[in-house]
Homo-oligomer: A and B are copies of this chain.
Amino acid sequence: MARLVMKFGGTSVGSIERMEKVAHLVNCEVDAGHQVAVVVSAMAGETDRLIALVDEASGKRRDGPLNRAEYDAVVATGEQVSSGLVALTLRRLGVEARSWAGWQLPIATDGAHGSARILDIDPALLTAALDAGSVAVITGFQGITSDRRVTTLGRGGSDTSAVAVAAALKADRCDIYTDVDGVYTTDPRIVQSARKLDKISYEEMLEMASLGAKVLQTRSVELAMVHKVPLRVVSSFVDNPDHTAGTLVCDEDEIMENQIVSGITYSRDEARVNLLQVQDKPGVAATIFGALADANINVDMIVQNVSRSATQTNMTFTVKESDLGQAIAVLEAKRDAIGYTDLTSDSKVAKVSVVGVGMRSHAGTAKTMFDALAGKGINIQVISTSEIKISVLIDESYTELALRTLHAAYGLDALPG
């Protein structure tokens, strides 16, 4: 007997008909003798409908913790509805089940309404229910503060809820049922020879998730890594649960032979900013990035080059494309304090990254990347590296060519040995 958490997203519970499919998958695990906790999102479209009502009622004022608390109280009902309906559907199909709202367990969070963090989940009630042979159907995406107000975790928070429940229950595995059948070496819509990975390490998945692969929320992977919860990404369109299907996100040492590079990701939501002939004196970087941080703008890649003059330097960095306008406004307002001569920007750029824990122990991984891109005449604008990742900024129009070229260069096209 294993203890499993099964998480289903909004599309998977988008109608009672789809819930019957969910109930069938759950029933298969129960029939196999497993204890099952199910974590559900709101029915597809429901969260957006509720947010539209909140926006109309509040005049789109989400400022202030009290308004955000009401936002949470309203939006959290989406999962309360779907958890009750999934429990009823399970019961109709003969499976003992009951729904649990986040506040009933409780799932304790901090008070950051709209983007709360889970502090603790009390496993007592859940464990008792599972031991009594009942399937627990739990609302994803929400919890409760110490003063009994409902919170939501922010978009995609249901993955995080599922991993947190799995950690609290010391579950053997957390299965994330979704509309893709696993994690791929790269985007299969762009590279036809992309292959599904059977296993990937938490660290690699984290880089993949934060670099643009949309399969799992970064927060949920972080949480799974910390609590050592094996996480399986699997399609909800299968007829029977197959524990060898999908992709298992797990500890690095559970993967027999690591590839040097496991995957190649990209993001087009990037813009490059260049500040020319910045005063090269202590504190100038703090002035630039402090001002951007105050405006809530995340800066990603940063490169500082030597300028022609010894007292000046060129500064290049990237921000999200949607933040570019505000970033320029912030920097122009601080022009005197920073002391640059020119500000240029380009939003027609893309970031392409190769990710793999194997590159730690292999020299030459970067060289392979630079050679392959140069071979196709693709110019590298900015380079940024971490222990298990190399990212480059290139002209956006070369994105697909770069992905295909790198996928082949690292031998990912071939079938696994």
Q: How far is the CA of A100 from the CA of B81 in the complex (A)?
A: 18
Chain B residues with CB under 8 Å of A84's CB are 54, 57, 70-71, 73-74
Chain B residues with CB under 8 Å of A101's CB are 73, 150
Chain B residues with CB under 8 Å of A54's CB are 84-85, 88
Would you call A57 and B98 a contact (CB within 8 A)?
A: no
A235 at the interface (CB under 8 A from B): no
Q: Determine how close the nearest CB of chain B comes to the CB of A42; give it in whole angstroms.
A: 11
Given A92-B57, A92-B61, check contact A77 B81 (CB 8 Å).
yes
What residue of chain B has the Cβ atom nearest to residue A150's Cβ?
Answer: B101
Given A69-B98, A81-B50, check contact A88 B16 (CB 8 Å).
no
CB under 8 Å from chain B, chain A span 299-357? none
Chain B residues with CB under 8 Å of A81's CB are 50, 53, 74, 77
Given A70-B84, A70-B99, A80-B73, check contact A16 B92 (CB 8 Å).
no
Q: Determine how close the nearest CB of chain B comes to the CB of A249; give it in whole angstroms.
A: 32
Chain A positions 50 through 61: 1 when the CB is less than 8 Å from some CB of chain B, otherwise 0: 100110111101
What residue of chain B has the Cβ atom nearest to residue A76's Cβ?
Answer: B80
Would you call A88 and B67 a contact (CB within 8 A)?
A: yes
A39 at the interface (CB under 8 A from B): no
A104 at the interface (CB under 8 A from B): yes
Total count of chain A residues near the partner, CB < 8 A: 37
Chain A positions 92 through 118: 1 when the CB is less than 8 Å from some CB of chain B, otherwise 0: 100000110101100000000000000
A19 at the interface (CB under 8 A from B): yes
A362 at the interface (CB under 8 A from B): no
A87 at the interface (CB under 8 A from B): yes
Chain B residues with CB under 8 Å of A58's CB are 88-89, 91-92
Chain B residues with CB under 8 Å of A99's CB are 70, 73
A1 at the interface (CB under 8 A from B): no
Chain B residues with CB under 8 Å of A53's CB are 16, 81, 85
What residue of chain B has the Cβ atom nearest to residue A78's Cβ?
Answer: B77
What residue of chain B has the Cβ atom nearest to residue A62's Cβ?
Answer: B88
Chain B residues with CB under 8 Å of A50's CB are 81
Would you call A19 and B57 a contact (CB within 8 A)?
A: yes
Would you call B57 and A85 a contact (CB within 8 A)?
A: yes
What residue of chain B has the Cβ atom nearest to residue A137's Cβ?
Answer: B70
Q: How far is the CA of A137 from the CA of B139 in the complex (A)?
A: 24
Pairs A-B, 9 closest by C-beta atoms: A74-B84, A77-B77, A57-B88, A73-B84, A58-B88, A57-B85, A16-B56, A70-B84, A57-B89
Interface residues of A (CB under 8 A from B): 16, 19, 50, 53-54, 56-59, 61, 66-67, 69-71, 73-74, 77, 80-81, 83-89, 91-92, 98-99, 101, 103-104, 148-150
Given contacts A53-B81, A70-B91, 14 further A-B contacts (CB under 8 A): A53-B85, A54-B84, A54-B85, A57-B84, A57-B89, A58-B91, A59-B92, A61-B91, A70-B87, A73-B84, A73-B99, A74-B80, A74-B85, A103-B103
Can you list 30 A-B pairs with a CB-CB distance of less than 8 A?
A: A16-B53, A16-B56, A19-B57, A50-B81, A53-B81, A53-B85, A54-B85, A54-B88, A57-B84, A57-B85, A57-B88, A58-B92, A59-B92, A66-B98, A67-B88, A70-B84, A70-B85, A70-B88, A70-B91, A70-B99, A71-B84, A71-B88, A73-B83, A74-B81, A74-B85, A80-B80, A101-B150, A103-B103, A104-B148, A104-B149
